[in-house]
Amino acid sequence: MRRFRSPSRQVFAACLAAALSWLGPAGARGAEDASQGRISHAIAMQGQPALPPGFKCLPYADPAARKGGTLHLGEYGAFDNLNPYGVNAGTTAAGIAGPVYESLMARSYDEPFTLYGLIAETIETNEARDHVVFRLNPAAHFSDGAPITARDVVFSFNLLKNKGRPQQRGAYGLVRSIEALDERTIRYDLAGANDRELPLILALMPVLPAHAMTEKRFAEEGLAVPLGSGPYKVAEVKPGEKLVLRRDPNYWGKDLPMACGLYNFDEVVFDYGRDDNSLFEAFKAGLVDYREETEPHRWVGGYDFAARRDGRVALETLPLGGPKGLRGFAFNTRRALFADPRLREALAAMFDFEWLNANLYSNLYTRTRSFFDESELSASGHPASAAERALLAPFPGAVREDILDGRWTPPRSDGSGRDRALAKKALALAEKAGWKLQDGVLTRDGKPLTFEILVIDREQERLALHYSGQLRRIGVDARVRLVDEVQFQRRRQRFEFDMMIGLWQASASPGNEQRMRWGGDSAAQEASYNLAGAKSPAIDAMIAALQAAETREDFVTAARALDRVLLSGFYVVPLYHSRAQWIAYWRRIAHPKALPNYAQPLFGEALESWSLSAEPVRPDKPH
């Protein structure tokens, strides 16, 4: 990972110092010495935590939730390991991170990015955030009864730094040193990292058992039953088919505020299916308790069955807060074919959202225009401020004028499915990149433009086939290849694809994860999420600005500048999003009335805030 002091960031730092004198300190923090730390129960990326010391429960959890029962969930695809942190992992089973493995601190999804104590009961850092100290809860222990000590934290850090996934290795590599001050206290030296998010990234580090783990086992453990400290233990594994989590009756943290009203079921069963239609039929039959619907036609007309009509099954459309993120076809710019952004823009212009939305999706979707759509972080519709222009000044040409002015939006078709004006525009863009239509084939230097779109399921296949059909109208041969999930993940991790669909979920506090998605150093790191292979000093500098921001104003400025650089690169063909989450569930289970403000999706893999319904329901089919 590049540090702030790399050549491109030196330029950025000079620009920041000279042109952004408006950068101010984070909010008032009392009379502490700026060089000394302050001990706290929580830490926020900007501003102050919303919940005070001694709070009882998260705002979106119900302290009166019923305990007990079994929750049955359907998962699409398969899994080939139980280790969510190893670089060699392919597809990890659901429900491991959080329910089984815990981190030092945990997130409140009612705030943009605030963490509260879990394994670590307190955190200490200073204004510069050039160090962080965690003090462990003396009650914390693994599910085998072994206490969690500083040794486990140091072991986990070193293991994940050397053998973990690229995003962990990149972030942890910024740490100058780690030291166990005593059995319960760990201090990280972060001097020189210039990353205000780093203390929070370290607080989210999972704590692995030093007494039961080795580097070799970590790399090879695959389907070995994990030993964690969370509220659940893995009780049953059928590789690729089924995972059963069972509540640990000796869970050490059951009385903590961060567990209040959460993890209410005695058992959580994940049943895997290779076909979404079969999972839907299992839900209709009462074999699955909960379903998040992603198919608009099914949502509109597919739930007319007896249990829905008589009220045993509920349907809800729940609002999603925070940035909507971006889902789209990613160009693998490591391929010489996609090196020219003008060609990428030409190909992107042929995606006909208006026809798709009307004919396949019942007009339930909205076209995505930004990597942080429908939020204050989005550049769409906003001319760049003076502060943004100062950030971007060292990188002339990195942002197009129409994007700098906030005028750009994805091309809009006439909805006919054969918009000639759009095809003409796409061909004109392609010609600027050296491609010409000859005898119905788009060619350059006598070679036709052909590539493969890699997809993982039938929904992606249908979408890709429609897009491929539109590309044929301008002489492009885009073949669609459907593969199983394990092969898909391995090809994704090794960047063995031309184009694939990616999802860049957005939080209200984007930061370190942007390095793995777009940072230049991540482009060649196997298993990183830099699907497009982006390598740009301007991107690196905008990510650095995000991490250096001390106020929300500075943060929004950096996020919008990053959004503009990414949009100008045309790394992705933007697709669409829903402004709501569609859920269906059997009324034997229920969720709290309050919903988290910033969670996407609203509920975790194990439906942590759900419980057995307190209201009597009519008898239904047993599991």
Q: Is 513 helix (H, G, I), strand (E, B) or coil?
A: helix
- Residue 502's closest CA among 559, 542, 456? 456
The answer to the question of residue 256 being in a domain is no
The answer to the question of residue 308 being in a domain is no
Let me know: does 165 contact 527? Beta carbons within 8 Å: yes
* Number of domain units in the chain: 1
> CA-CA-CA-CA torsion for 488, 493, 494, 499, nearest 10 degrees?
60
At 221, the pLDDT band (50, 70, 90 cuts) reads low
For residue 13, pLDDT over 60 is answered with no
Phi/psi at 381 (5° precision): 80, 5
> CA-CA-CA-CA torsion for 496, 497, 500, 503, nearest 10 degrees?
30
Let me know: does 352 contact 533? Beta carbons within 8 Å: no
CA of residue 159 relative to chain centroid, distance:
23
pLDDT score for 217:
82
pLDDT score for 318:
96
The answer to the question of residue 107 being in a domain is no
At 322, the pLDDT band (50, 70, 90 cuts) reads confident
**Per-residue pLDDT reduced to its tens digit, 52-81:** 999 999 999 999 999 999 999 999 988 988
For residue 619, pLDDT over 80 is answered with no
The answer to the question of residue 451 being in a domain is yes
pLDDT score for 321:
85
For residue 343, pLDDT over 70 is answered with yes
State what percent of residues in the chain have pLDDT above 90: 80
Sign for the pseudo-dihedral over CA of 497, 500, 505, 510 = positive
For residue 475, give the amino acid letter: G
Let me know: does 338 contact 344? Beta carbons within 8 Å: yes
Let me know: does 468 contact 452? Beta carbons within 8 Å: no
CA of residue 420 relative to chain centroid, distance:
37
Q: 529 vs 90, 137, 340, CA distance in Å?
A: 14, 34, 21
User: What is the Cα–Cα distance from 70 to 623, expressed in whole angstroms?
Assistant: 10
The answer to the question of residue 145 being in a domain is no
Question: What does 114-129 look like in DSSP terms, one character per residue?
Answer: EEEESSEEEEEE-TT-
pLDDT score for 35:
58
**Per-residue pLDDT reduced to its tens digit, 422-446:** 999 999 999 999 999 999 999 999 9
At 216, the pLDDT band (50, 70, 90 cuts) reads confident
Q: Is 37 helix (H, G, I), strand (E, B) or coil?
A: coil
User: What is the Cα–Cα distance from 299 to 287, expressed in whole angstroms?
Assistant: 19
Question: What does 139-189 look like in DSSP terms, one character per residue?
Answer: T-B-TTSPBP-HHHHHHHHHHHHHHB-HHHHHHHTT--EEEEEETTEEEEE
Q: What is the mean pLDDT of residues 514-535?
A: 94
pLDDT score for 222:
79
For residue 106, pLDDT over 70 is answered with yes
Phi/psi at 168 (5° precision): -75, -45
Residue 532 sits in a domain whose CATH number is 3.10.105.10
The answer to the question of residue 81 being in a domain is no
pLDDT score for 88:
63
Q: For the chain, what is the mean pLDDT?
A: 91
Domain, as residue range, for 481: 326-408+419-577
pLDDT score for 90:
61
Q: Is 465 helix (H, G, I), strand (E, B) or coil?
A: helix
For residue 28, pLDDT over 80 is answered with no
The answer to the question of residue 292 being in a domain is no
More confident residue, 321 or 121: 121
The answer to the question of residue 518 being in a domain is yes
Cα radius of gyration rounded to whole Å, the chain: 25
Q: Is 485 helix (H, G, I), strand (E, B) or coil?
A: helix
CA angle 510, 165, 111 (to 5 degrees): 25
Q: Is 491 helix (H, G, I), strand (E, B) or coil?
A: helix
pLDDT score for 25:
31
Let me know: does 90 contact 490? Beta carbons within 8 Å: yes
- Of the listed ranges 272-276, 303-307, 562-566, the one predicted with least confidence: 272-276
- Of the listed ranges 88-92, 102-106, 182-186, 414-418, the one predicted with least confidence: 88-92
Residue 338 DSSP code: G
pLDDT score for 21:
30
Greatest mean pLDDT among 32-41, 109-118, 610-619 lies in 109-118
User: What is the Cα–Cα distance from 307 to 618, expressed in whole angstroms?
Assistant: 10
Whether a cis peptide bond, with omega within 30° of 0, leads into 138 is no
- Of the listed ranges 23-32, 83-92, 130-139, 200-209, the one predicted with least confidence: 23-32
User: What is the Cα–Cα distance from 561 to 553, expressed in whole angstroms?
Assistant: 13
| pTM for the full predicted model | 0.81
